[in-house]
Amino acid sequence: MLIYKIFRSDEWAALKAAGETAGAPVDLADGFVHFSTADQAVETAAKWFSGIEGLVLLACDTDGMVGELKWEPSRGGALFPHLYRKLRLDDVVWSKPLPIDGDTHVFPKDML
């Protein structure tokens, strides 16, 4: 199953350079890497990244995260995937720019 992480371009560059990351500032503060499902990603972008340009959408495969990925309640009681280890570059299946149109981000059609 694919889950999704939204990074700012500098956070994505740091992951590519180091091969792993503990995540964005919110991830560091919470002690895990926040992810969204395909259905949750649009709302995540609107809530946390409204109007922000230069974002990158990462699709990551949960198969390599067994035992370290937990599904925990968040917004409205929905279960969100949280990774309790560093995100590794080899977790990433693909990355794509997340362009913005006004205040709304445009997600890849094949994801939604």
User: Which sequence spans correspond to the domains of the chain?
Assistant: 2-99
pLDDT digits (tens, 9 = 90+) for 80-109: 999 999 999 999 999 999 999 987 999 999
Strands (E), the chain: 2-8, 20-21, 33-34, 55-61, 69-73, 79-83, 87-88, 92-98, 100-101, 104-105
Q: Does residue 68 sit in helix, strand or coil?
A: coil
CATH number, span 2-99: 3.20.170.20
pLDDT digits (tens, 9 = 90+) for 41-82: 999 999 999 999 999 999 999 999 999 999 999 878 899 999
* CB contact at 8 A, 15 and 22: no
pLDDT band at 8 (very low <50, low <70, confident <90, very high): very high
What pLDDT does residue 111 have?
A: 85
What pLDDT does residue 15 have?
A: 98
Higher confidence at residue 111 or residue 73? 73
